[in-house]
Amino acid sequence: MGVVTSLSGHIATVMLEETGLMPFFLVIVHPGNCRSRKRSGTPFRCALAQLEIAPSKDVFCVGDTEDDAAGALFCGVFFAWASFGYGIKPNFDRIVLQDFTQVLEL
């Protein structure tokens, strides 16, 4: 799995380490290693390339903003909205996750 974030790489790394999630993610794409905005889909393509995974509807992106949804869909992967995150529901008809445990069901 990989992380695509608008946070700095340092902050994202500390958050993953402190929550014990770091071992589950092989890739962290952030503004320091990919300058393109999420909406373009480029950060998602960068993460997939590093993971050696082709974009497809079998790949899930879990996000909480409209930019996450737009970028994932533009990249060609399926989007699931994390309603427990920061953003408001995107204008896309996709899976709605009510809590983090539902990510495991994808």
pLDDT tens by residue, the chain, 106 residues: 999 999 999 999 999 999 999 999 999 999 999 999 999 999 999 999 999 999 998 999 999 999 999 999 999 999 999 999 888 888 876 789 999 889 888 8
Domain residue limits, the chain: 2-105
Q: Which fold has domain 2-105?
A: Rossmann fold (3.40.50)
pLDDT at residue 88, as a whole number: 82
pLDDT at residue 93, as a whole number: 66
pTM here is 0.88
CA distances 69 to 18, 19, 22, 23, 26, Å, are 26, 24, 23, 25, 22
Relative to beta strand 60-63, strand 27-29 is unpaired
pLDDT at residue 8, as a whole number: 95
On the 0-12 / 13-18 / 19+ scale of CB atoms within 10 A, 45 is buried
pLDDT at residue 94, as a whole number: 76
pLDDT at residue 86, as a whole number: 85
Look-up of token digits 């373009």: 40
pLDDT at residue 104, as a whole number: 85
